[in-house]
Chains A and B, each alone.
Chain A
């Protein structure tokens, strides 16, 4: 597609439930990134995938968070046993060249 697509755009879930957030990057982009933006905060790096290399998971806040990227394309960020502090906007970006990010519009997650 023309841009980075994220779904759903909004998600409300009950505390303790698992959620999956999807990112469909720009076709051909080899790098894919997940960031989290909490209210009043800047963006916090979570994880990135680069080609066939092992992902950099250094930003994942706990073992409840995981992500995968299938076939070098679509990525899914999974949060298990959601907590209220997980409420945030989750942003995905993809890139073909060094630091050439294109961001998606994000998924707003609300844990109630």
Chain B
């Protein structure tokens, strides 16, 4: 069965500093990989996704993620965070033989300090 692990429940980062959120997955083949962001009172918004091809994926809001098959990881990065990046971030995986059912990690809460 597929699973998703986000090891960090909570991360505090200073505004302007870099951010990296970890995501590890367990799946029999290369799954589809996603990062979503959920701001307070907002719905979930897709930041980026990986289906195949280039393992470094660019997303919205200056985020990028790198797929590393050997480590079963799909970590999310941003070089310089803004106060508006404070939110909860979810990694998700989807089976390549499914029409769209996603398995989500438990989320990482990001706090941005001045």
Contacts and interface: CB of A to CB of B under 8 A. Distances in A.
Interface of A: 4, 31, 33, 35, 40-45, 48, 50, 56, 59, 91, 93, 95, 98-99, 101, 103-106
Nearest to A50: B99
Secondary structure at the A interface, as helix, strand, loop or mixed, is: strand
Contact of A45 (B41, B45, B90, B101): B101
A43 B44 CA distance: 10
Interface size class of B (residues with CB under 8 A): 20 to 34
Interface string B35-59: 0000001111110010000000000
A41 B103 CA distance: 12
Contacts of A91: 43-44
A103 to B, nearest CB: 4
Nearest to B109: A40
A42 B106 contact: yes
Contacts of B103: 45
Nearest to A53: B99
